[in-house]
Amino acid sequence: MLEDKDLRSIQEVRTKVEQAYEAFQKYREFSQQQVDRIIDRVAAVARAHSEALARLAVEETGYGNVKDKIAKNLLNSDTLHQAIRPLKTVGIVRDDRQNGIIEIAEPVGVVAAILPTTNPTSTAFFKILISLKGRNAVVLSPHPRAVRCTCEAARLLYEAALQAGAPEHIIECLSDASMQGTNELMKHRRTAVILSTGGAGIVRAAYSSGKPALGVGPGNVPVLLEASADVESSVASVVEGKSFDYGTVCSSEQSLVAEQGARERVLSALKANGAYLCTSEQTAALAKLLVSTDFRINPDCVGQSPVRIAEMAGFPVPPDTSILVVEIQGVGREHPLSVEKLSPVLSVYFVRDFEESVKACTAILNFGGRGHTCVIYSKNEDRIREYGLRVPAFRVLVNTPSPQGSTGITTNVFPSMTLGCGAIAGNVTSDNVGPMHLINIKRIAFHVRDARAAFQSEEARAYFAGQPMPALAAVAAGGASRPRIADAVGRYLTQRGITAPVTSPPPATALRQTTITNPVEAVVDRFLSYRMASGTSSSAASNPSPGGLTNLPAQAAAASPAPPAPEIQVVPFVAEDDVRRARFKQKKIYINAKTIVTPAARDLDDGTILVQTE
């Protein structure tokens, strides 16, 4: 018997992944009817146990509240089930006879499902249902602080799947949860794809595993209260979203941005909805309690009631307080409460006008929530569209509480507990992840035309007719393309300190007889000579320059100054993706005290990328 917990965890992973893979080999042959019978039964059992599992989750983790965890469990056993039930995920899913394309769904295999501690049972429901809908096996890796409730949820759903005819071991859950075991799960040779929900560290590990991964980024959701919105109803909606499960949903509202002229109405509406407005001293105490010096959230405060958080910060609030409200004066490192807080604490930020509001919301997203979610309350369609076009978020919600809107309860986005943040956050997708992300599409493509018919351009027609291609012929003849070449070369040389003016070019036939002293014309001439000698014109002169554009004439070379010493450029903002790119290019990023560096970017830096300057 293994006594070492990490070794036990690794061995458990190896055993359960192999068993899940064997189950997948059988399940992949199931029909759509068989698959849908299984998910119908699994969803029904999940709904029946939503309350009991919500209570168990709160009891074990200490995060959130039972009422709202029931709602999240129902989202992933009722609303999600309604959305995925009609989907075709088996066999031929599209037959486009007109275009000669048949699409066939193929399951990916064993899904490694990494679960968070904030939403342990609802996320288990979600990942099990979408995996089974795609004819995949799933192995769940619970958070160490949520093993009991996650494994109980998995057990109940597994028994339901077996009753509906699923093969044994189609759902597995790790009972010896550890970081070593999770790493083994992500890298196991039988693991096909990783579905990761959790902190930045576990998502980065998923993307670094060498396996396909669907991870998510952090949320730092700004809410813009636009001038046309009804203040009272909008604020009530914000409080409803912010207080939901004590702020544990990643798409929970974090900062409310409004114009200065609406300040008194906004604060009055907040108080009318049970919010407690903190004094400047209480705000400072909350900042010290909630946010560490490296901008990590105190785990003891995550998902706690507003009364409990206020008590921890050293001041009392009424027992019926819905949320705590703190006023901030800006965004960034000097304003720690402008980060994601994972608790019922809402920042409010008053600015001059709509333009400043959009800029503030953008800054909030850049400070730890790029690509995730934002909200606008407005009756002005033009302002709503402008906001959506400008902000760096892939879920732009309108007039709705953010947790409910982003997960598909109050909007028609796909119901999901895995909200992709796109390439700007290092994610592979910006979608609300669902079962279609866990299948591959095979395409049967029929011959529909001859190769020549696929091309429509003038150049292509000339090519197939064996004639000179028009664009190259124009260059060889010194036609319309020559001024464009001269302009491009002129800009290139000007950037390097060569400022000779462009003069009227000689005729193409005189290229060999003319002495050219202008460096721009010299380079254009060298290019044209090279093109003509290489076969674009039968009248081209022989012995072209072997260097083509790389050999500048002596005049140009003499006019070129020595390259200046590289300057250190301090950047105003650094995100996680910037650090990732710099590491790939083996470059450094120079920052100073005014530079905004997102918490995720600092986490990714190993001390070799970010360089502090004066």
| Catalytic residue numbers, as ranges | 250
**Cα–Cα separations (whole angstroms), residue 230 to 154, 227, 271, 327, 507:** 44, 8, 16, 21, 70
Helix (H, G, I), strand (E, B) or coil at 42: helix
**Structure tokens, 261:** 């002229």
Q: Answer for the pair 172, 162: CB distance below 8 angstroms, yes or no.
A: no
387-391: long-range contacts, CB 8 A cutoff, minimum separation 24: 387/224, 387/226, 387/358, 387/361, 390/358, 390/362, 391/222, 391/358, 391/361, 391/362, 391/365
Q: Please give the Cα distance from 170 to 294 (Å, whole number).
A: 41
Q: Which residues contact 206 (CB under 8 A, 6 or more apart)?
A: 114, 186, 194, 196, 213, 215
Residue ranges with strand state E in 43-188: 91-96, 101-107, 110-114, 137-141, 171-173
User: Which distant-in-sequence residues (6+ apart) come within 8 Å of 22 by Cβ?
Assistant: 169
Q: What is the distance of C-alpha 151 from the center of its chain?
A: 28
Q: Give residue 483's Cα distance to chain centre.
A: 43
The crossing angle, in degrees rounded to 10, of helices 147-163 and 32-48 is 140
Residue 327 exposure: Cα atoms within 13 Å on the Cβ side: 15
Question: Torsions phi, psi of 186, nearest 5?
Answer: -70, -30
Do 192 and 160 contact (CB within 8 A), yes or no?
A: no
How far is 432 from 403, CA to CA, in rounded Å?
Answer: 13
What span, in angstroms and rounded, lies between the C-alpha atoms of 66 and 46?
16
For residue 274, the tally of other CB atoms under 10 A from its CB is 15
How many whole angstroms separate alpha carbon 122 and alpha carbon 73?
5
Alpha-carbon span 218 to 250, nearest angstrom: 7
**Bridge partners for 346 per DSSP:** 325
